[in-house]
């Protein structure tokens, strides 16, 4: 378990830039396809091109790879950029479910898939908490 948090181990195990882009493409594909994704898909703009790039670039740095998000898109805080959205447990879980389904299509070992879902649950929960403070 320890191995994934160290240096760029997670980034490499996730297939680097190409692997992460593939994951993010599948993530949004799942969001567009699954009934559980319908509601959170509707929170996004019609065109997903920019958000796919944003999530990919963010995840690359977050997984220990090149940190290019701020350079490309400016400084941001993950909970704060979601503050205007109403995100409760249902929306949080839908996001994580789409990611879990997308991971099934990746050539990652089981340990990495579990690690990613477990780690992504933290920012997802932080987003929910901030959103609930904002929207009650
Ligand atoms: C908890 C459930 C989540 C929902 C429903 C959600 C939904 C969204 C939506 C609708 C946007 C577009 C916002 C807009 O342009 O108005 C967005 C942006 C974004 N989301 Fe999420 N998101 C969630 C969790 C996450 C998580 C866990 C991460 C990262 C680990 C993440 C990373 C991002 C990034 C990087 C952006 C782009 C922010 C920017 O514009 O600079 N999201 N999200």
Ligand 1 pocket test, pick from 49, 52, 62, 81 with the greatest ligand atom count within 8 Å of Cβ, gives 81
Cα–Cα distance, 59 to 123 (Å, whole number): 12
Can you give the residue range of the structural domain that contains 119?
2-135
CB-neighbour burial class of residue 2 (10 A; exposed 0-12, middle 13-18, buried 19+) = exposed
Cα–Cα distance, 62 to 10 (Å, whole number): 9
Domain total in the chain: 1
Ligand 1 pocket test, pick from 82, 86, 127 with the greatest ligand atom count within 8 Å of Cβ, gives 82
**Gap between the terminal Cα atoms of the chain:** 36
**Number of other residues whose CB lies within 10 A of the CB of residue 32:** 13
Cα–Cα distance, 22 to 14 (Å, whole number): 10
Cα–Cα distance, 14 to 129 (Å, whole number): 28
Using CB distances shorter than 6 Å, the residues near ligand 1 are 40, 43-44, 51, 54-55, 58, 73, 76, 78, 81-82, 85, 87, 91-92, 95, 120, 123-124, 127-128
Cβ atoms of residues 56 and 21 within 8 Å: yes
**DSSP state, 108?**
-
Per-residue confidence (pLDDT) for residue 2, from 0 to 100: 54
pLDDT, averaged in runs of 10, over the chain (136 residues):
82 98 98 98 98 98 97 97 98 98 97 97 98 94
Residue of the nearest CA to atom 34 in ligand 1? 55
Q: What is the CATH number of the domain that holds 6?
A: 1.10.490.10
Say how many Å lie between the CA of residue 121 and the centre of ligand 1.
13
């Amino acid at each position: 378990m320890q191995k994934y948090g160290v240096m760029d181990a997670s980034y490499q195990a996730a297939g680097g830039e190409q692997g992460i882009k593939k994951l993010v493409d599948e993530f949004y594909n799942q969001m567009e396809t699954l009934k559980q994704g319908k509601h959170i898909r509707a929170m996004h703009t019609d065109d997903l091109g920019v958000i796919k790039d944003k999530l990919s670039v963010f995840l690359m740095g977050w997984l220990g790879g090149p940190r290019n998000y701020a350079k490309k898109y400016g400084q941001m805080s993950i909970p704060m950029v979601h503050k205007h959205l109403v995100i409760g447990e249902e929306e949080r879980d839908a996001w994580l479910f789409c990611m879990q389904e997308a991971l099934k299509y990746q050539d990652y070992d089981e340990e990495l898939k579990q690690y990613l879902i477990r780690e992504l649950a933290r920012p997802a929960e932080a987003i929910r908490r901030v959103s609930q403070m904002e929207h009650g």
